[in-house]
Structure 1
Amino acid sequence: MGLLGISAALGLLIMLAFRGFTLLLAAPAAAMLAAAFSGEPLLAKWTLTFMQGTAGFIGNFFPLFLLGGVFGKLMDDSGAALSIARAIIGWLGERRAIMAVVLACAVLTYGGVSLFVVAFAVFPVANALFQQAKVPHRLIPPAIALGAFTFTMTALPGTPAIQNAIPMAYFGTTLFAAPGLGIMASVIIVGFGLWWLRVMERRALNAEGYHAEAHITPDKNFVRERAANADNFDHGELTRGHRSELLPPVALAATPIIIVLAVNLVMSMVVLPRIDTGFLAEPRFGETSLSAVSGVWSVVTALAFASLTLVLILRKFLLELRASLDAGANASALPALNTASLVGFGAVVAALPAFTVIRDGFLAVPGGPLVSIAVAANVMGGITGSASGGLIITLNSLGETYAHLAAATGIAPELMHRVAAISSGALAMLPHNGAVVTLLAICGATQRGSYREIMVVGLVGPLIALTAVIALGKLFGAF
């Protein structure tokens, strides 16, 4: 009955998420269904087990969501994000329209700008460029997805994305774990994705000439409904504040991005390893360690410095600074709670007696810990439709076990980190993913017209890269 309950709970979670129900309701409802099948006390499971898992995630990662939301909103309202996107697209021109959109999205997301902010900033420019270059409109969503939802989220070393931050607490690593493998995986993902989109572009033009889908004006309520379950930025706050009509020079616009990357690197590699953090072992700080908090500390410091710099150098473009700051802060709350609710769901399921069968099944996957954690993170990401949600459920349930197995078999924790991060973003790109549905709505595109290409660049490409990382990791270790 326990396994049946877990299966029913997962089915309910998928169905409710696909229909657009908020995870704030769907996750506890699914958790209580699983607990009921196992005969567990429901109130205790909800108010204790579920909420302890939820609160733990909020306590660890909310500062990252908060400052990420603020920085993204400041980049949007100041016009900096649009300035960078227009500059990159202008440099590459219409002959490389797809590459220009991918690169613009990649630069912005790798610099810490929320992917929904990027999608809204880049789409109007991409739409005009694709029409001018006679590239089918339906290829805009996969181009944005390739640049914003893939390698800059999970593979590229140093990325401030939450998917790259989560594994650090379990493996004692940094955001720059296995940099060589991360760069290699990024090259595979972007290379394969650009090749595929180029093939699709040529086929479409040869078969039908220029074809633009009848552009669908996105329904704001629909976008809000589907975006509510994403783990990045609350779409409803994008229209609040005041977006500058005058764009800053690209050099000034790019300065905060450079600061995010530079401060992140310096904090991770130079500052934090050299300061005395023995106080973290004291009970008043939770008897933790530097490895458990260094990643979040590095990212929030980088985002704080970048946000302050942005306000100082682009103040004249921020016409309603307080409104922009409020909107950015508010935009972080719902995504953080959504992801935390998935963590609470995972905490309930992991505490059920029947979960030992699932745990043993993952651990028994042939190929050792690397393959096992890759399968587990992919499966949970696919079930939840959330890269961060699936990853945190996997590591909350099995992270300590994987860390011990890696140590026993001589696998570098940095390699485990990179494999786990890349794995989180593959099967999570299935059609019920909130970010995918929202992206299609933003672009006025359809699942029928664009999802196949999104799947190829966002799911197939990362799986190929993941296979290469595991194979090389087994041969040469982390590098």
Structure 2
Amino acid sequence: MGFAGIVLSLGLLMYLAYRGINVLILAPILALLAVVMQGDLPIVATYTQVFMPALGGYVITYFPLFLLGAIFGKLMADGGAARAIAEGIVAKVGAERAILAVVLACGVLTYGGVSLFVVAFAIYPIANALFKRADIPKRLLPAAIALGSFTFTMTAFPGTPAIQNAIPIPFFGTNVFAAPLLGTLAGMIMMVGGTLWLNRRAAAAAARTEGYGQHKPTSADSSFSDEAGLPSFAVAIAPVVAVIVLNAIFTYLILPRMDASYLQRPEYGGTSLSSLAGLWAIIISLTIAIVMTLALNWSRFADAKETVNAGTMGSLLPIFNTASEVGYGAVIASLPAFAIIRDAVLGLFPQNPVASLAVAVNALAGITGSASGGLSIALNTLGEQFAQMGREQGIDPGLLHRVASLSSGGFDALPHNGAVITLLAITGMTHRKSYSDIFVVAVAIPVFATVVVILLGALLG
């Protein structure tokens, strides 16, 4: 009954989340359903002593990243920098390469720390105009935005400030530049492979004389208008570049030279700088980028205070959604029946824990429909075991970090994924029209890239 309770709970979490019920409600209810079916366990105590501490621990660790990322993205959008970057890339690449232009514009913004939701809203009007001018079917537009926004810059390219690249840091003692060569290779597989796929689909549609098609305007179309006084491309992209460059400087040059022996004292958690440097570097880099964005675009904000406030409030729901999924995972992991699942996952590839890690993260990301949620649950429940197996087998912690991050961006983009549903709403498309191409560029190709990294990691040690 305990194992059946876990399966039923996970199935309901996936189904009801797809039906639009908020995970803040779902996670504790379904976690306690599994507790009830396990039997002989205190329900209220499990909620207050297991679920809530896990939720709170996640918020304590990652809230600064959610907060700063949301503020930075909102400033980039409201100050016109996001649009200026998109138009600059289109001008360089050429409107005739509409798909590549959209992918690159989304990639530059998300690699610089702008939220994928902000990017989707900012890029869509320009991308839609490009597709219409090039007579490319609009049904391919969501896949182009998805490819640039939540694939290679979310999980693969080293240094990306995405939360999916930060979550593995405390578990493996790494930083956001973990396994840089393998990460870059995986990112190029996703970017090039996805772009080639979409161009091939566009060419096939052109051969059938399909064209852009007839579509009703969306709310994103009607809310977007030309604005005077956009920043230059150089001014717009400066904070984006700063995030990556400063991240590397603080990670490799400044923080390692600091005397942080005080961290060993109980009031500072009894920890070490190596376990915190990765997170500190992102926090400092995003903070400086926010100040840069404000300074460079001050006159372009209608109300800078309101923009910062909106970004602040916009960070709350995403982090509490993810933290609730972490609390859910902690409850499931505390159940005696979870030992069946744990032993099965760890025993899949006993000589290759990297492959077992990939399966665990992909499965949980697919079930929850969330890259960060699935990754957090997997590492909070099994991260210590994978780290220990890696040490015993001499596996580079950077490889474990990169594979964990890559795996979070595979099955997460199934139809019930919140980002997929939001993207389709923004573009005015439906699952029936556009999801098959989203699946190829955001699920199939990223999973293939992850397999390549696992194989190369095994060969290279």
Q: TM-score, normalised by structure 1?
A: 0.93
Alignment of 1:420 onto 2:404: yes
Contact 1:79 1:243 in 2 (8 A): no
Q: CA separation in 1, counterparts of 2:83 and 2:217?
A: 22
Which residue, out of 364, 375, 391, partners 2:359?
A: 375
* Distance apart, 1:349 and its partner CA: 0.2
1:405-439 deviations in whole A, cap 9, x for unaligned?
00101110000000110001100010000000000
Q: CA separation in 1, counterparts of 2:32 and 2:172?
A: 31
**CA 1:243/1:157 → structure 2, altered by over 3 Å: closer, same or farther?**
farther
Alignment of 1:310 onto 2:293: yes
Partner of 2:35: 35
Segment drifting more, 309-318 vs 373-382: 309-318
Q: CA separation in 1, counterparts of 2:210 and 2:63?
A: 48
Alignment of 1:402 onto 2:397: no
Q: CA separation in 1, counterparts of 2:214 and 2:64?
A: 41
* Correspondences of 1:74-473 after superposition (within 5 Å): 74-215=75-216, 217=218, 246-366=229-349, 368-473=352-457
Q: Which amino acid aligns with 2:153?
A: T
Q: Which amino acid aligns with 1:456?
A: V
* Distance apart, 1:325 and its partner CA: 0.6
Segments of 4+ in structure 1 off by > 4 A?
Answer: 242-245
Q: CA separation in 2, counterparts of 1:348 and 1:219?
A: 40
Segment drifting more, 270-279 vs 146-155: 270-279
Q: CA separation in 1, counterparts of 2:228 and 2:42?
A: 56
Secondary structure at the residue paired with 2:315? helix
Q: CA separation in 2, counterparts of 1:133 and 1:273?
A: 50
Contact 2:175 2:279 in 1 (8 A): no
Q: CA separation in 2, counterparts of 1:110 and 1:316?
A: 26
Q: CA separation in 2, counterparts of 1:291 and 1:9?
A: 37
1:332-363 deviations in whole A, cap 9, x for unaligned?
01100000000000000000000011000000
**CA 1:356/1:140 → structure 2, altered by over 3 Å: closer, same or farther?**
same
Alpha-carbon RMSD across the aligned residues, in angstroms, is: 1.7
Q: Which amino acid aligns with 2:232?
A: P
| Structure 2, unpaired ranges of 5+ | none
Q: TM-score, normalised by structure 2?
A: 0.97
* Distance apart, 1:289 and its partner CA: 2.0
Q: CA separation in 2, counterparts of 1:438 and 1:192?
A: 24
Q: CA separation in 2, counterparts of 1:363 and 1:291?
A: 27
Q: CA separation in 2, counterparts of 1:362 and 1:245?
A: 56
Contact 1:76 1:243 in 2 (8 A): no
Secondary structure at the residue paired with 2:208? helix
Q: Which amino acid aligns with 1:67?
A: L
Contact 1:77 1:243 in 2 (8 A): no
Segment drifting more, 364-373 vs 77-86: 364-373
Secondary structure at the residue paired with 1:314? helix
* Correspondences of 1:35-54 after superposition (within 5 Å): 35-39=35-39, 40-54=41-55
Q: Which amino acid aligns with 1:311?
A: L
Secondary structure at the residue paired with 1:21? coil
Q: CA separation in 1, counterparts of 2:210 and 2:181?
A: 41
Contact 1:138 1:213 in 2 (8 A): no
Q: CA separation in 2, counterparts of 1:259 and 1:339?
A: 27
Q: CA separation in 1, counterparts of 2:109 and 2:220?
A: 26
* Distance apart, 1:216 and its partner CA: 5.9
Partner of 1:20: 20
Q: Which amino acid aligns with 2:229?
A: L
**CA 1:364/1:243 → structure 2, altered by over 3 Å: closer, same or farther?**
farther
Percent of pairs with identical residues: 49
Contact 1:174 1:294 in 2 (8 A): yes
Q: CA separation in 1, counterparts of 2:73 and 2:306?
A: 13
1:379-398 deviations in whole A, cap 9, x for unaligned?
00000000000001000011
Contact 1:387 1:425 in 2 (8 A): yes
* Distance apart, 1:463 and its partner CA: 1.0
Contact 1:169 1:291 in 2 (8 A): no
Q: CA separation in 2, counterparts of 1:382 and 1:328?
A: 28
Contact 1:213 1:445 in 2 (8 A): no
* Distance apart, 1:247 and its partner CA: 1.2
Secondary structure at the residue paired with 1:210? coil
